[in-house]
A and B are shown apart, each in its own frame.
Chain A
């Protein structure tokens, strides 16, 4: 059985604004699926439909085998949700929130307390559990949010931009926790603006642009499809740029440089490496200051598929 399946999923808002224009998804059980897209692409609208916060206006979606439109209660019992901006009550303590969440999942009081203690320990908040959430750091709030989403052992977990605004340490801690879920067989639907996050965590990535999925596959496949490797060269003498360009054209097609380098060549053979470029330039009598082999990134994939870069050059979130 697929963990998430959507066919022609659509959502039109008032004023005939079509935020999602017919999305198809097939996500296997135990898979981590990265859902990439810029703000306004339809990412959050899709998630809100899948977690039953928003009714689709077209198409169908099944989550954990249940229809989000006709069996929303059954879907809610099977999913865990950590939405953007960790929606936590600042006046409650971490433990109180965790117990409340467990209670709302139908657990009796004693079990709710035991399960809360386990989850608090798992997300590393034991010492802070009885402090009000208002005093937590961003990373602690995100970990608590994740713990609350896991309190009932959901089979499908939705994480909507879980690391937005986190410092690198908190981000890596959360990544570790998500990776651990993979080993436990939980399906994770992860939306993110950070390419590195999708690259690191996701088994497969879907790129949404203007309400449609424009690319889907494993990060490696997408990068491979996106295009060839590039060689970027900085010369000892920048006056030899044209000669270098002519010499290197044996290896591929010259392209515009990124500024820090004098020549950029799109390689026609994926097996070509730095050594080949150095040899060609040496044969032409040109002294090299620096040579770099650039492989396509998800950012390149994104650029190719959507015609724009993801906001914030988000490979390295702040």
Chain B
């Protein structure tokens, strides 16, 4: 299964690299929002209760990473839905490989793409912000939480693609990315959100993922935020990889 999963992951990465229209939005949109927020809302860091940060840009970096990873999940879903529509998926299904390797291949590719996305924002942080406050260990934490979260978000896209079987349905969830983001503590600390957003953010796993990546960037939040970030990312990855596998079996049964 590992051999087939790696072959499919390599193929997914190769095709993604040749489809710049898919990869560019994952970097461009969050970068633009990062620039707009950092420029226009920078005084927010002076609000009482705001975590101590050297710049609002540093605080927003984890939000941009989270947004990018979520968009990556949508892109994975669209790519798989297109494969279903165009028949390439049938080719994979008629190959004598374990079904799980079709899901695993995609998720491995998603993790690799997530590392690339995170590197982009780390680079922006080094250029326009104050870098990673906790240094190399902090960077590894960002990569760790981010890549696992990337798998989880790709699992969402994959599940939707396998259930719907068409790209337009998957594309329709694109606006939800922003709703989920703004109903988390990715852009603003939970204690500064009003009701009911603060309650929703408390139960939104994206809050913990963003906070977990943010902690080593701004050097505030400690081990608790990191552990919660890993926990939320891992929970999402396991849950949605499982759901994607279930959706695949369901699709194959239904034909």
List A residues at the B interface (Cβ < 8 Å). 11, 48, 51-55, 73, 76-77, 79, 81, 83-85, 87-89, 91-92, 96, 100-101, 103-106, 132, 148
Contact = CB atoms under 8 A, between A and B. Distances in A.
Q: What 7 A-B pairs come out closest when comparing CB atoms?
A: A87-B87, A54-B255, A104-B95, A76-B96, A77-B96, A103-B7, A91-B18
19 contacts: A48-B255, A53-B93, A53-B255, A54-B255, A55-B253, A73-B96, A81-B94, A87-B88, A89-B83, A91-B14, A92-B11, A92-B14, A92-B15, A100-B7, A101-B91, A101-B95, A104-B92, A104-B95, A132-B18
A83 B90 contact: yes
Q: With a 10 A CB-CB cut-off, give which of A84, A89, A96, A148 has the most chain B CB atoms.
A: A89
Interface string B1-41: 00110011001001100110000000000000000000000
Contacts of B94: 51-53, 76, 79, 81
B97 interface: yes
B86 interface: yes
Nearest to B253: A55
A103 B101 CA distance: 13
Interface of B: 3-4, 7-8, 11, 14-15, 18-19, 83, 86-97, 252-253, 255
Contacts of B83: 89
Nearest to A57: B255
A76 B95 contact: yes
A91 B11 CA distance: 10
Contact of A83 (B4, B7, B87, B97): B87
Given A77-B96, A87-B86, 20 more contacts: A48-B255, A52-B93, A53-B93, A53-B252, A53-B255, A73-B96, A76-B96, A84-B87, A87-B87, A89-B15, A89-B83, A91-B14, A91-B18, A91-B19, A96-B14, A100-B7, A104-B8, A104-B95, A104-B96, A106-B96
Interface of B is mostly: helix
Contacts of A89: 11, 15, 83, 88
Contacts of B88: 87-89
A103 B6 CA distance: 10
A49 to B, nearest CB: 8
Contacts of B8: 104
A87 B82 CA distance: 11
Contact of B97 (A79, A92, A104): A104
Contacts of B7: 100, 103-104
A91 to B, nearest CB: 5
A33 B149 CA distance: 50
A73 B92 CA distance: 12
A85 B7 CA distance: 24
A83 B11 CA distance: 21
A307 B86 CA distance: 34
A11 B253 CA distance: 12
